Amino acid sequence: MKTYPMALALRIALLLSWPLQSPISSQIAPPLGRLHITSTPEKWNITINDKLRPEHTNVTLVVSPAVYKVLVNGGPGNLSCPVLSCQVSAGATVEIACPLPPTGPGPNCHAFQ
């Protein structure tokens, strides 16, 4: 059996360097954020970006960093909170309370226009 030292050396070098290769950037998931949505009383409907969600308040949703249009409604008398535009950053939790506190929405949300 004929051996080729150069081919064997190349195989060994490739095998040894394989764990040291950095992952491709598309394989790394972006850091996520959270929308923490509460209401008094609980069990209100949640609509995000014009899509009704299966979850009800009070809930924390894990989301990608982005701006979200959030509507919380269906409380007593079918009331609803103002539609909010909320900026969620990576690693951050944005609090949304309905009814809105007297101070208004938090710093990451404003009335949707």
* Residue ranges of domains in the chain: 30-111
Q: Does domain 30-111 have CATH number 2.60.40?
A: yes
**Token output for 111:** 């009335």
pLDDT of residue 59: 97
Mean pLDDT in order along the chain per 10 residues (113 residues): 62 57 62 94 94 96 96 84 94 92 85 76
Question: Residues 89, 68: contact at Cβ < 8 Å?
Answer: no
pTM of model > 0.85: no
Backbone angles phi, psi at 30, to 5 degrees: -70, 150
Q: What is the pLDDT of residue 13?
A: 59
If phi over 0 gives left and psi between -120 and 50 gives alpha, with beta otherwise, what is residue 80? beta
- Looking at residue 24, its pLDDT comes to 58
